Amino acid sequence: MSTTTLEAPVEAKPKQKVILCEGNEAAALGVALARPDMVAVYPITPQSSLVEHVAKLIADGRMDADIVDAEGEHSVLSVLQGGALAGARTYTATCGPGLAFMFEPYFRTSGMRLPIVMSIVTRDGITPQSVWGGHQDAMTVREVGWVQVYCETVQEVLDTTIMAFKIAEHHDVMLPVNVCLDGNYLSYGTSRVELPDQAEVDAFMGVKDVNWHVALDPLRPMAVDPLTGGSSGRGPSTFVRYRKGQCRGMQNSLRVIEEVHEEWAKRFGRSYAPLVEDYRMEDADYAIMTLGSMSGAGKDAIDEARDAGKKVGLIKIKTFSPFPVDVLMKSLKNVRALGVVDRSVGFRWNCGPMYQETLGALYRLGRHVPAQSFIGGLAGADITVGHFHRVIEATEALLSGPASTEPVWLNEND
Amino acid sequence: MGAYNTIAFDAAKCDGCGDCMSACANTKVGADDALKEAPLGGTARSRIQIGGTAETGYELALCRQCGDPKCVTVCPAGALGKDLSNGVIGWDAAKCVDCLLCTVGCAYAGIALDEATGRVAKCDMCEGNPSCVKACPHDALKLVTTSRIYNEVGGWEDLFAPGLAGCQGCNTELLMRHTLRRVGPDTVLATPPGCVPGMGSVGFNGTTGTKVPVFHPLLTNTAPMLAGVKRHYKRIGREVTALAIAGDGGASDVGFQSLSGAAERNEQILFMVVDNEGYMNTGMQRSSCTPYGAWTSTTPVGQGAGGVHSQGKTQDAKNLPLIMVNHRCEYVATASTACMEDLYDKLDKAIEASRRGFAYLHVYSPCTTGWRFPTDQNMEVARKAVDTTFVMLWEYTRADGLHFTRPVDDPLPVTEYLKAMGRFRHLSDDQISHIQSKVVENLGFVKQLAHGAKA
């Protein structure tokens, strides 16, 4: 496995239409290109314009899908579960309180191995009341068996949304996928986007086959999700077999995500690090870690630090669930100090969730690496190049001094 | 099989005159000469026997021309058989070995020893024009066409496995088997947590109790999940019936939002609620469909504090079917297993309506375990609910509005219903008055709706 495919060789680029659009529209265009049979929608800030774009694409005949305007997120995902069990390719989007309301069927989707794709236009948790971006919603459900990938740019949102269907429906995976795009910064951020050709996307997607493993179909009747478990008979082993299968699907997805990104790069000429991106990590003594749209400002800060002679690099996580421990360990191989920047809070360990996950990977390294948790960008706050310089300086200090068990709150005095 | 004729007996109209027995004996053996004293001074040569007294009530002993005749099953000589052209069970004198096993097999005393001949004798329906019926001066005997349910549905495939684990005396298994027989194999069945999957319809650890595709939705998302299935089949051009058999709790409480949403979107599904007025599968807790005054495990009866006794549920039941009428569904109806013909008519209409939009069928289902009555009383309790108008049977379509399908002209007092169950044993006079007044109020309300529909 390679830790970066940013410099992957690119074949002759197919001609692609160039447009200007926001991240939510890019996601909608990606959905249309992936040709789902069914989408279910319920509006919530900052996701709303995404489902509005989807509805308009269908109304204009640019997308052929059954759209269900459900009465809430709980029903949104429930309708899609039924559709998927009948053989439909399915899509929705939500965030924040909507994701919380959806949690009951959300938990079940991965257990039934339904390859539903759902964008999370990430939003901070309430309370305190807020309608702005932050990763708290997606982070809160990171332990529920969905594959979760985070995008950095509007173009990556479009491309990843299409790739997500192929990853989810891979027979070795068969799991739902969240494409996370930062509320405000990516949802409303407008940029130049190359629009792939439909025929090329069709060839990339291949033949749809979403309910070969579990179906509600009178032509092949089966009981879906009968009672299992308990302490006797076949109960315990049956339940364990299902759970182990989920875990195996999650681990398989690491390989499939890499393969799908590689094929995408070959077909469309745009490559992204599928799991973990190393940015200027060659000969780096220490590193900072980022997730999502903050990474752009982080890379600018790294460039300036490098210009100033500092031996620092940046590690960006794209695939957060499953956590790509093996690949991350390669990135961390020569690192002697680490600063991890989270856009959400881990209440149990008084740190950022990604920081906490990374500590687990560091343990496997077998040597002590001082690390510091930074929390910034909550509830729509910006994480600027200036903030990242503070992160770089504090991480550099770990090379010669002690690490704190307290997180650094980047926007505390903004 | 077509519908057959049979002889029905109304004990309330019989005065024990014995004219039927005389007519039968005259027709069959040319005389009403008795070998010995028959009950009521009639004749032992008659194939119909009336027993009992005016005090105890009169009872009928007569061949029912059963669809599943035990006399035929036990006959070792092949002397008894059902004529599929007219439904009559015939006796072949040449084959009979006079063992009399048939008289033991029959639960109705419908075949008996004729001591004059030393052989068995039974009703042969007088070639479709029974003398006994013609002779009855009180209309207590009638020639009626037997239930099409028995004759038609009995031959359709039972799509549930035998041996479901329902409580003894539960009528939900009856309802499930009849419903799925009628709906047929091109069906996707949703059974959310409750008694229906609790008795094994979805299955345990790799086994299943159902022969059509079946699934557990969440308690909260039956309607939208089923709608998703139906929508995709519609999109790809396949005709599949989407059927939910759900409990009242999930429908009226925690799943109500999603039910209402699916009805508003007019999803093409048939949503059947089996209303046993509480969370009976989980141990008889209160739901919003539990009636006022009822004991449940979360509205128990006790001494309370400060002299305020706890006397069961303190609120009236939510009327879910009327709420569904206000969604202007394709079809809404209430039904009872005490009135299977009525239920079947509604099932037919609901299935047909579900091809156009949302169909809702609310079936009142007495719970032997949770309502606390003997296991052989289920139909009787269901019947009393209808006869007191505690439960009203009606149907609604947008075109014709609401109308009663089984109007009760002279309702019994509600106490006739309440006293049949242990869950109402503690009721005070005030509570009974409240329930009676609510029954009258509800009946008046639905009558207004029915009247408005015709106006």
pLDDT for B343-356, tens place per residue? 999 999 999 999 99
C-alpha dihedral (B37, B40, B46, B48), degrees to nearest 10: -140
Chain A contact for B207 (CB, 8 A cutoff): yes
Judge whether B151 lies within some domain.
Answer: no
Residue A394 maps to which CATH number?
3.40.50.920
The tally of domains found in chain B comes to 2
Please answer whether residues A94 and B283 qualify as being in contact, where contact means their C-beta atoms are separated by less than 8 angstroms: no
Asked which of B126, B146, B166 is the last residue of a domain, the reply is B146
Same domain assignment for residues A189 and A337: no
Among B146, B164, B182, where does a domain finish? B146
CA distances from B165 to A143, A306, A323, B169, B374 (A): 36, 72, 44, 11, 18
B206–A contact, CB cutoff 8 A? yes
Place of tokens 């002590």: A368
What gap in Å lies between CA B31 and CA B430, rounded to an integer?
A: 61
pLDDT in tens, A86-141: 999 999 999 999 999 999 999 999 999 999 999 999 999 999 999 999 999 999 99
ipTM: 0.93
Final residue in a domain of this structure, among B100, B123, B146: B146
A153 in a structural domain: yes
- Strand, coil or helix: what is A312? strand
User: How far off is chain A from B194, nearest CA to CA, in Å?
Assistant: 12
Residues A69 and A92 in one domain: yes
Please, which residues 152-181 of chain B have a Cβ atom closer than 8 Å to chain A? none
Please state the φ and ψ torsions of residue B295, each to the nearest 5 degrees: -70, 135
Put simply, the answer to whether B235 touches A84 (Cβ < 8 Å) is no
Are B50 and B189 part of one and the same domain?
Answer: no
Question: CATH code at B377?
Answer: 3.40.50.970
Place of tokens 């919603």: A137
Q: Note whether B369 and B167 are within 8 A (CB).
A: yes
What CATH number does residue B68 fall under?
A: 3.30.70.20
Specify if B263 maps to a domain. yes
Full DSSP string of A147-202:
EEEE-SSHHHHHHHHHHHHHHHH-TTT---EEEEEETTTTTS-EEEEEEPPHHHHH
On whether both B173 and B64 belong to a single domain, the answer is no
B92 and B177 assigned to the same domain: no
Same domain, A259 and A371: no
Distance CA B25, CA A343 (A): 96
A127 falls within a domain = yes
B310 and B401 in one domain?
A: yes
Q: B236 in a domain, yes or no?
A: yes
Q: Chain A contact for B237, CB < 8 A? A: no
Q: Which of A221, A237, A268 is the last residue of a domain?
A: A268
Residue % of chain B over a pLDDT of 90: 72
What CATH number does residue A110 fall under? 3.40.50.970
Residue B139: which residues within 8 A CB-CB, separation 6 or more? B10, B13
pLDDT at residue B106, rounded to an integer: 93
Same domain, yes or no: A264 and A283: no
Q: What is the pLDDT along chain A (414 residues), one digit of tens a residue?
A: 444 445 545 555 667 899 999 999 999 999 999 999 999 999 999 999 999 999 999 999 999 999 999 999 999 999 999 999 999 999 999 999 999 999 999 999 999 999 999 999 999 999 999 999 999 999 999 999 999 999 999 999 999 999 999 999 999 999 999 999 999 999 999 999 999 999 999 999 999 999 999 999 999 999 999 899 889 889 999 999 999 999 999 999 999 999 999 999 999 999 999 999 999 999 999 999 999 999 999 999 999 999 999 999 999 999 999 999 999 999 999 999 999 999 999 999 999 999 999 999 999 999 999 999 999 999 999 999 999 999 999 999 999 988 899 999 999 999
**What is the CA B75 to chain-centroid distance, rounded?**
31
Q: Distances in Å between the alpha carbon of A129 and those of A73, A124, A126, B46, B386?
A: 20, 9, 5, 86, 52
Kindly state whether residue A333 falls inside one of the protein's structural domains. Answer: yes
Select the more confidently predicted residue: B36 or A238.
A238
**Best of B207, B221, B241 to disrupt the A interface by mutation (most A CBs within 10 Å)?**
B221
Residue B33 covered by a domain: yes
Same domain, A255 and A382: no
B113 φ, ψ (degrees, to nearest 5): -75, 130
Residue A92 in contact with partner chain B when CB distance is under 8 A: no
Predicted confidence at residue A78, as pLDDT, reads 98
Residue A311 in domain: yes
Q: Are A254 and A302 in a shared domain?
A: no
Are residues A287 and A172 part of one domain? no
> Residue B148 pLDDT > 80, yes or no?
no
Note the Cα A28 to chain centre separation in Å.
16
The conformation of residue B413, written as its DSSP 8-state character, comes to: P
Clarify whether residues A52 and A161 are in a common domain. Answer: yes
Q: Is the pLDDT of residue B382 over 70?
A: yes
Domain span at residue B370?
156-454
- Asked if A264 and A311 sit in the same domain, the reply is no
Does the beta-carbon distance from B224 to A88 stay under 8 Å?
A: no
For residue B94, is it within any domain?
Answer: yes
Chain A residue numbers touching B203 (CB-CB < 8 A): 223, 226-227
Residue where one domain finishes, among candidates A236, A268, A300: A268
Asked if residues A73 and A101 have their Cβ atoms less than 8 Å apart, the reply is yes
Please provide the distance, in angstroms rounded to a whole number, between the alpha carbons at the two ends of chain A: 41
Looking at the fold, whether B327 and B383 belong to one and the same domain comes out as yes
Residue B349 domain-assigned (yes or no): yes
Q: In the numeric block, which tokens belong to residue A256? A: 């499939």
A63 with A160, same domain? yes
| Residue A321: domain span | 276-409
Strands B394-397 and B331-336: antiparallel
DSSP secondary structure letter of residue A213: S
Beta pairing class for B89-91 and B80-82? antiparallel
Q: Do B122 and B179 fall within a single domain?
A: no
Number of structural domains (chain A) is 2
Cis before B411 (ω within 30): no
In terms of residues, how long is chain A?
414
Task: Tell if the CB–CB gap between B261 and A70 is shorter than 8 Å.
Answer: yes
A238/B224 touch (CB, cutoff 8 Å), yes or no: no
Structure-block tokens of residue A294: 């903050």
Residue B200 lies in a domain: yes
Same structural domain, B121 and B175: no
Do residues B138 and B184 both lie within one domain? no
Query: Considering the domain boundaries, does residue A313 fall inside one?
Result: yes
Tokens 């490098």 correspond to what residue? A306
DSSP B201-262: SS-BTT--SBSS-EE---TT-HHHHHHHHHHHHHHTT---EEEEEEEHHHHHTTTHHHHHHH
Kindly state whether residues B309 and B217 are assigned to the same domain: yes
Residue B214 to residue B242: CA distance in whole angstroms: 10
| Residue B15 and residue B43 in one domain | yes
Same domain? For A60 and A207 the reply is: yes
Q: What is the pLDDT of residue B316?
A: 97
Q: Is the pLDDT reported for residue B153 higher than 90?
A: no
In a shared domain, residues B431 and B288: yes
| Cβ contact, residue pair B258, A75, below 8 Å | yes
CA-to-CA distance for B329 and B324, rounded, in angstroms?
7
B58 inside domain:
yes
Distance from CA of B281 to the nearest CA of A (A): 15
* Residue for token pair 């084959």: B95
B170 plus B120 within the same structural domain: no
Tell me the pLDDT of chain B averaged across its residues: 91
Q: B93-115 pLDDT, tens per residue?
A: 999 999 999 999 998 999 998 88
A260 and A342 in a single domain? The answer is: no
Residues 241-260 of A with CB under 8 A from B: none
